[in-house]
Amino acid sequence: MSGNVERPRIAVLVSPAVHPVSGRACAGAADLAALALGQALVASGAPDVFYAGAAPDSALADYLAHGCRRLLVLRHEPDQDVSASLAAAVRPYDLVICGIRSGGGMSSGLLPYQLAELLGRPLLPGLAELSLDSGTVRGAQSLPQGEQRLLEAGFPVLASVHPRAATARPWRFAGLAQGRIEVTPATGCGLTECAFEPERRALPLRAARAERGHERMLQAIAAGDGQAAGLVVNQGDSVEKAQVVLDYLRHHQLVDY
């Protein structure tokens, strides 16, 4: 591990997004959540914040207004991959936090996985919560339908966070005036060498037949010849109704008791 367990070195990765209404460059929601988590985990001072790309300083100003004291920019050309230079920049850090995907560009969500592979470190993806405990990073991974899964790993480690993982600090003009953007040299490989290129555009899924929900319900409870294929239980107590459901599950081998 590169730092002290009691005071780990934390880096946050950001990339400006495109506002859906105005179209101007702004701070990404997942980036602000990552920045807020980094600020909360640093006992004193502030986490180091990195951006790799060719966005102008005006597009990065929102991060300063939300509490970023120093934004380190690895200047790249638009046709260059940023994963190699980011990996070299964040290698000394114990914990690297970023959003699950950027709010602009291809937004493929592959960057956290590329960095984890280049650095040879574990990745805790899609976290809704993040905490540190004696050199161990613990997080709750956000899953579909509101479910969560607990993950943990020791330093050094990477973590990608959900946009609702933390509430960003309010926008302050004082932070915008006091923060600074520093440009440092960066090295990267060409896009054709190591960047992700989608083979084709995903096609939207279409239903084989367009039917209303009421029609589908009638098909589920009645066969084509008019005979009942299911039961609608309107009478009886809760035990009798539960027995009907249990008999149905046993008949279709959905339960084994």
Mean pLDDT confidence for 93-109: 79
The more confidently predicted of residues 46 and 92 is 92
Mean pLDDT confidence for 106-111: 75
| Alpha carbon distance 50, 124 (integer Å) | 19
Query: How large is the C-alpha radius of gyration of the chain?
Result: 25
Give the pLDDT confidence of 144-191 residue by residue, as tens digits: 777 788 888 989 999 999 888 888 888 888 888 888 888 877 655 443
Q: Of 151-160, 201-210, 226-235, which has the strongest mean pLDDT?
A: 151-160
Ordered structural domains, the chain, with CATH: 10-194 (3.40.50.620), 213-251 (no CATH)
Mean pLDDT confidence for 53-82: 82
Reported residue count of the chain is 257
Does the pTM surpass 0.85? The reply is no
**Selection from 140, 137, 136, 138 nearest residue 128 by Cα:** 140
Residue 210 tokens read as 């367009």
**Selection from 187, 199, 209 nearest residue 82 by Cα:** 187
H or E element that contains 53: strand 48-53
Residue 195 tokens read as 């960047």
Mean pLDDT confidence for 57-74: 87
* pLDDT interval class at 121 (50, 70, 90): very high
Q: What is the pLDDT of residue 199?
A: 46
Q: In this structure, what is the dihedral angle of CA atoms 77, 124, 107, 182, given to the nearest 10 degrees?
A: -30
Give the pLDDT confidence of 5-57 residue by residue, as tens digits: 567 899 999 988 887 787 788 888 888 899 988 888 886 778 889 988 878 88
Residues 155, 47: contact at Cβ < 8 Å?
Answer: no
Q: What is the pLDDT of residue 96?
A: 93
Q: What is the pLDDT of residue 5?
A: 59
* pLDDT interval class at 238 (50, 70, 90): confident
What's the 3-state SS for 107-154? Answer: CCCCHHHHHHHHHCCCEEEEEEEEEEECCEEEEEEECHHHCEEEEEEE
* Mean of all residue pLDDT scores within the chain: 79
Q: What is the pLDDT of residue 20?
A: 76
